[in-house]
Amino acid sequence: MVRITSILALLALQLFLVRMASADSFDVPKNETLGININESYPQGRCGRQAGGRKCPPKLCCSKHGWCGTAPGYCDPLFCQSQCSGAPIPPYVSPFLTAKQQAGGGMRGIRSFLLNEVVV
């Protein structure tokens, strides 16, 4: 019975893939957050140098690779090429640091932290 179910699942997957490959157009749903059709706003979500200087819609950042989005990979100053005014990215704080080390214990704090990690 398990074998028949597996075969039916594979056949259904193959039928789905053939149907998708033969489709003439791909429908892009309306983005519920922004209320815009993605294809009308910017072709395939591209922006910046890779898209001839095209800008992203409001509240989206253009990544260094030329894609629009809101995640740290798009908006962080290290990864963003334009429209980098998304939500500020909180700095990463190790859960192993003490309050003094988090507050800027300097090299002494870092050395102490590393020594504690090696010794413990």
Tokens found for residue 117: 């990690």
Domains of the chain, earliest start first: 2-27+40-82 (3.30.60.10), 92-120 (no CATH)
* pLDDT tens-digit map of 45-59: 889 998 999 998 888
Q: Is 15 in contact with 4 (CB distance < 8 Å)?
A: no
Shortest CA distance to 59 belongs to which of 44, 43, 49, 71?
71
* pLDDT tens-digit map of 51-80: 999 998 888 888 888 988 888 888 888 889
**Residue ranges for the chain with pLDDT beneath 70:** 15-44, 86-120
Q: Where are the alpha helices (DSSP H) in 1-120?
A: 2-22, 38-41, 72-75, 99-102, 106-119
Q: What is the pLDDT of residue 111?
A: 54
